[in-house]
Structures are given as C-alpha cells and as structure tokens.
C-alpha cells in the first residue's frame, strides 16, 4: 500500500506530497492543472526513463520518493531479497535526476538498476496502462481471473507442488540423459579399448618382467656355456675349487691342536668351502632354469609385442599405467551402466508424476470451466451498467496437450463490442477507455480472491456520464474494500465515491512561477468541488444539493 508520495522539482511541481488512505482515493482538478504530471512523476518510481527537461530549477535535482507498506506482500519480500536489497516493513523507493541528467534509483537506500526497480515496483503499483497490458499480453493473468472466481486456490496449490517436483525431476532427467548421450558418442570406442586391454590380460609389471625373461632366453646358449664353465671350475676340473678348498680345510685341521693361532685361519677356510659348495649348487640350479625352448621364446616375444603396441597406442610407459587405464575404462563403463539404470528409474517416476499431474490438471480444468458461464453473465451485466450496453465478453477455453505451470488450460478473453456476432481478442476490439472499464469490471468480480498492488486508474470514466459513471464509482468503491485505489476522474459521481478526495490546482508562487499543488479536501470543500464539476465555476443551489446528495450517498 502506498503511504506517501513526495515529488520535488518535477515539471511544474515544486514540492508536493500526497498521503492516500488505504481505500478509494479520488483526484480531481481542472484540465491542465497537473494531474497527468503527478502520474508522470510516479512513473519514474516505476522505472520510466527521464531527462533534464523535467527539472523546474536547473540548479537542483529532481526527487520522487514513495513509501510503501509491504508487511503483507510476501512476494515483494522474496524478490527484494533475491536482488540483495535489505527488507524493511516500509519500503522507501526513491528516484533522483541530477542537473546533468543522470538518473539514480534507490530501494531502502540501496542503489538499483532501472530493470530491477521496474520489476519490484510492478509488485506495488499497477497503472491503468500496465493493468490493461496484463490482460492483453499475459495469458496467466486471465487464468488468475478464472481461478479467482472459481475458487481453485486449494487445487491450484496442490497442482503447483506436484508440478514443481515434476519440473525438477524433468530437469534432472534431461541432465542425466545429456550425460548419457555424451558418453554414448564415445561408448563404442571406449568399449573396444577396454575389451582390448581385458583380452591382453596383463598382470602387474608383466611387460617389464617378460622383457628380462626374453633377454635371458635369447642369450641362453651363452648363459649355459658360462654356467657350465663355472660349474667345471667349481666341481669338475682337474683341480676343482670346492675339492681343493676342502683339502686345504682338512690340512689346517691337523695343526690346530698344536698351533692355536691356526684355528681362526682354519675356520675362515671352512667358511669359504661352505660358500663355494653353495655357489656350485646355485649355478647348477640356474642351468636347469635356462631353457633353449624356441616355442617358449616365440610366446614371450608375442606377449612383449602386444604390450609394446598397447603402450605406444596409449602413450604410456609401463604395465601398471596400462592397468590404471583399464581400471578407469571399467569404472566409466560401470558408471554408464549405473546412469542408464538411474535414468530408467527416473523415467518411471516421471511417468507416474505426469499421470498424477494430468489428473489434477483435468480436475482443475473442470472447476474452471464450470465457473466460466456465471462469470461471463456477471461481467456482461456489469459492462452494460458502466456504459457498454452493446458489448459482450466471451471466454475461449481450450485444453492443450502440454502440461504447464498452470495446468492444461489455454484461456483467452474475447470481445464483441457492438453485438456483431464477431468476437475478437480484447486488444483488437476494445478502445483504451473501454479496456479500463472492462478491467474494472473484472477486478470488481475478483477483488476478494486476488492479491493486487495499489491500483491507479487514469480517467477510467472517460466517455461516460450519468448512471454509467455512477456505476463506475460503485465498482471502484467495492474494489477499494479489498485494495488501495487511486483514481483520477472528471466525473462527480466517481469523485463522490472516494474515501479521500484530493484536489489538484495551479497557483502562482512568490517568485511569480506557476506551480501545481494538491490538497486533501475537507467535507465542505469536497461538496463545493463536486458542485463545480456538476454546474461550473458558479454552481447553482441545485448543483450544490446534488453534490451533497452524491457525497452523503
């Protein structure tokens, strides 16, 4: 709710302040007094662009500041926090235009951009032009209207909860499917690489070990000859070392009892003899291990060739690196298999949720369609009252194949302005003034059920008078029971319905300049203002009595 609007140094407004009440605020004044200028200043708060041409005093900046009570506006609070702006129960929105033409916007003293300002203030103020725009461009708004008169809030909220879960699941599923598709592009190749490594079946350090083994086999003849020569020297020659060392050991044993100093020497010789015996045994064992089997050599060579080819193919250096690659490929395969299973589970869950959504959407659609005939009858009755007796509104309601955030309904308001039998979309069939009255009728029927910002009507009663104007006033007053309204009017029947009546006028200041001023009228002033709207600058007694009757009514 707008608590206060302050305008300084804007067009012919030097300093003006308006404090509307929370119901119906009517604004009257002579043509050219500055009513549209006030709306122009307010549009700055709503994000409109401006330049230095609006400045009266070129040496001072223009300031427009609005105070809004937002304690019950949870949507505004959420959007505000989403823009990292501090929340206050009273939101102070300020627009400044410097003498150089630079514009700045603030919400609770935090600088914001014009797009952010426009987004946030659209939740607080709805000008007549924006009001019509919602109906013309936003099909969701028309659904909101039908839901308001059909009282579908419970069904719609339940549907919205399931839809939110469904959309989140669809997004998750799409991400997983994209991952799976991306992996699938390389799946065949990766599978081939893994199969190749699995077929090779290398063990840890196998290629390096096989290299050593093959090198030995390729030099087997030389190795055997060398080992046999060693065996001969140790055990088989004319004077084998093992035997000679044994004889030496036995010889020294004969003198150890008479030459104590020889004992240590004899023990050392004995150790040498034992070591030579052990070496001779190992030489014999090595000879047994060395093979001249050509078939075995070929098998080892083939194994090494496979290993070298794989190492070169993958630009790796050893067997263990190949095994790591094999493990990674296997994990990738396992992950993809798990991904496929997860996608299958989510697909099933998605189908279940889709069926539930369709059921709820169908129930929601049925309730909407049931309420439409009564709504059409009521709104056409109201249109006749507000000066559009030949106009007929109809609602084109269709079910689509696509489940959306509001269900499966496609709602469109159409108008036959002159009972021609041809219904057209509202924006094509209605004039600006007619659109304002149509929207006023819609809002009066949905006022209690819809949460709306401060509504501003600029001459909604243009082109009507008499009973039609009175009915517009009645509808505005009815709507104001639930929502704050500011209405600029030239009709006394509408002005008299205001819970507060503001008068806009021009006066000459001390500096000789003409300024727009605004004041809240007291009861007698209000009667006088309405009498002048009826009978001119010098109202007759009948005009004054008529004004009293309108105000008292």
% of the chain exceeding 90 in pLDDT: 26
Instruction: Judge contact between 476 and 455, C-beta under 8 A.
Output: no
How is the beta sheet containing 514-520 ordered, strand by strand? 125-127, 454-458, 485-488, 24-29, 500-508, 514-520
Q: At what angle do helices 466-480 and 432-446 cross, to 10 degrees?
A: 40
Mean pLDDT of 75-96: 91
Confidence of residue 464 (pLDDT cuts 50, 70, 90): confident
Mean pLDDT for the stretch of residues 284-313: 78
| Angle of helix 523-535 versus helix 541-552 axis, rounded to 10 | 130
**Separation of alpha carbons 398 and 459, rounded Å:** 35
Model pLDDT for residues 500-535, shown as the tens digit of each residue: 999 999 888 777 788 888 999 999 999 999 999 888
Looking at residue 219, its pLDDT comes to 67
Q: What separation in angstroms does the CA of 489 have from each of 273, 501, 523?
A: 129, 11, 18
Q: How far is CA 420 from CA 295, 390, 405, in A?
A: 103, 9, 36
Lowest mean pLDDT among 123-132, 334-343, 426-435, 438-447: 123-132
pLDDT reported for residue 433: 76
Higher pLDDT, 472 or 462: 472
pLDDT digits (tens, 9 = 90+) for 371-394: 999 999 999 999 998 888 899 999
pLDDT tens per residue across span 142-179: 888 899 889 998 999 999 999 999 999 999 999 888 88
Confidence label for 335 from pLDDT (cuts 50, 70 and 90): confident
CA atoms of 226 and 237, how far apart (whole Å):
14
pLDDT in tens, 122-139: 889 887 544 444 445 556
- Residues in contact with 14: Cβ distance below 8 Å, sequence separation at least 6, in sequence order: 8, 56, 509, 513, 515
Dihedral sign of CA atoms 528, 34, 462, 68 in order: negative
Within a 10 A sphere around the Cβ of 104, how many other Cβ atoms? 13
Cβ contacts of 366 within 8 Å, gap of 6 or more = none
pLDDT higher than threshold 90 for residue 19: yes
Please state, for a pLDDT cut of 70, what percent of the chain lies above it: 95
pTM for the whole thing?
0.65
């Amino acid at each position: 709710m707008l608590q206060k609007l302050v305008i300084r140094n804007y067009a012919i407004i030097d300093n003006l302040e308006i404090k509307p009440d929370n119901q119906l605020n009517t604004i009257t004044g002579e043509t050219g007094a500055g009513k549209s200028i006030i709306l122009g200043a307010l549009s700055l708060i709503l994000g409109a662009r401006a330049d230095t041409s609006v400045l009266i005093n070129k040496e001072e900046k223009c300031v427009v500041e609005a105070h809004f009570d937002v304690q019950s506006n949870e949507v505004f609070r959420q959007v505000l926090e989403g823009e990292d702006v501090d929340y206050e129960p009273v939101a102070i929105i300020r627009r400044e235009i410097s003498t150089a033409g630079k514009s700045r916007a603030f919400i609770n003293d935090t600088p914001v951009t014009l797009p952010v300002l426009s987004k946030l203030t659209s939740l607080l103020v709805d000008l007549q032009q924006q009001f019509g725009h919602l109906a013309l461009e936003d099909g969701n708004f028309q659904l909101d209207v039908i839901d308001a008169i059909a009282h579908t809030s419970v069904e719609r909220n339940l549907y919205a909860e399931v839809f939110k879960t469904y959309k989140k699941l669809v997004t998750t599923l799409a991400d997983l499917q994209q991952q799976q598709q991306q992996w699938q592009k390389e799946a065949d190749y990766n599978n081939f690489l893994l199969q190749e490594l699995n077929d090779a079946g290398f063990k840890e350090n196998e290629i390096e070990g096989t290299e050593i083994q093959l090198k030995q086999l390729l030099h087997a003849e030389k190795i055997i000859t060398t080992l046999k020569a060693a065996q001969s020297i140790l055990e088989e020659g004319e004077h084998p070392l093992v035997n000679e060392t044994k004889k030496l050991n036995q010889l020294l044993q004969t003198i150890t009892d008479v030459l104590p100093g020889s004992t240590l020497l004899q023990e050392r010789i004995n150790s040498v003899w034992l070591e030579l015996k052990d070496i001779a045994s190992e030489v014999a064992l090595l000879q047994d291990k060395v093979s001249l089997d050509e078939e075995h050599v070929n098998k080892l060579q083939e194994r090494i060739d496979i290993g070298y080819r794989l190492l070169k193919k993958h630009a790796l250096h050893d067997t263990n690196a190949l095994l790591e690659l094999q493990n990674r490929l296997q994990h990738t395969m396992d992950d993809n298999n798990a991904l496929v299973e997860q996608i299958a589970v989510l697909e099933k869950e998605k189908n279940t949720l889709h069926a539930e959504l369709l059921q709820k959407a169908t129930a929601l659609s049925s309730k909407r369609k049931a309420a439409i005939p009564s709504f059409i009858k009521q709104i056409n009755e109201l249109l006749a009252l507000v000066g559009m007796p030949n106009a007929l509104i109809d609602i084109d309601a269709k079910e689509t194949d696509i489940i959306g955030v509001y269900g499966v309904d496609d709602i469109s308001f159409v108008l036959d302005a002159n009972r021609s039998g041809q219904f057209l979309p509202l924006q094509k069939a209605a004039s600006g003034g007619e659109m304002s009255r149509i929207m006023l009728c819609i809002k009066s029927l949905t006022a209690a059920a819809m949460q709306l910002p401060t509504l501003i009507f600029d001459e909604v009663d243009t082109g009507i008078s008499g009973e039609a104007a009175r009915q517009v006033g009645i509808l505005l007053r009815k709507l104001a029971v639930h929502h704050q309204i500011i209405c600029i009017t030239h009709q006394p029947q509408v002005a008299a319905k205001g819970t507060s009546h503001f008068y806009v006028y021009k006066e000459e200041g001390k500096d000789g300049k003409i300024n727009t001023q605004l004041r809240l009228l007291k009861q007698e002033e209000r009667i006088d203002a309405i009498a002048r709207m009826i009978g001119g600058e010098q109202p007759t007694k009948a005009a004054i009595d008529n004004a009293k009757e309108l105000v008292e009514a």
